[in-house]
Amino acid sequence: MRSFVLFAFLAAINSAAAETQDSRAIVDIPEALRLIRTASEVDVFPVALIKKRVPNDGSSITPRGDYSHLRRLDAPASRKLQQLLGKESNWLHANDSTISVDTPSKSVGFIFRKGRDKLVLLHSLGARLRGTFNTQGVGGSLEFDKADPQLDKWMKEFAKPELGIK
């Protein structure tokens, strides 16, 4: 049993390291955080979390956005989301090596736009978000104690259709 736990831990670290190799941390891109705070358009859409078996890594969860079901957020929902995700201190400034045991099948994604700038973020497992900023790969995790629960609360209030909540 101990060897399985160790293997799972090492697999999670390897997976987290692989994610950050082809993308930049969102906290290291001031323009991306500025776009979140000042976006003139903010959309939400459903995200399916697909579990895949990955050789030499056990399994991996891949978020898949359903871009055909974009919904423009109203001003109050946009403002709360922008305040949450646009604040640098709400993002984890370290490697996220958490392991999620209870994998949900649905989550949400966001598109922030202003002028020619576009940021797409897909909420994955736990506090992780990943996507693109003007086609460049970005990712990061929210602070576990304060920002992640706030995002969960935001989703339950403003993203009910995307999560299939009535």
Name which residue leads in pLDDT, 51 or 99.
Answer: 51
- pLDDT of 95 higher than 90: no
| Number of domains forming the structure of the chain | 1
* Nearest of 131, 107, 106, 128 to residue 36 by alpha carbon: 131
Residue 18: partners with Cβ closer than 8 Å, 6 or more residues away? none
The predicted model scores a pTM of 0.80
Element (H, E) at 45: strand 41-54
CA-to-CA dists, residue 7 to 12, 103, 116, 134, 148, angstroms: 9, 19, 44, 36, 26
Q: How far apart are CA 96 and CA 93, in angstroms?
A: 9
| Lowest-pLDDT choice from 32-41, 46-55, 81-90, 96-105 | 96-105
Each residue's pLDDT tens digit, 47-64: 998 887 666 655 577 889
The DSSP output letter for 74 is: P
Number of neighbours of residue 108 by Cβ within 10 angstroms: 23
Range of the domain at 96: 2-163
At residue 93, the pLDDT reads 75
- pLDDT of 124 higher than 90: no
Q: How far apart are CA 161 and CA 155, in angstroms?
A: 10
Q: What is the CATH number of the domain that holds 40?
A: 3.30.1490.410
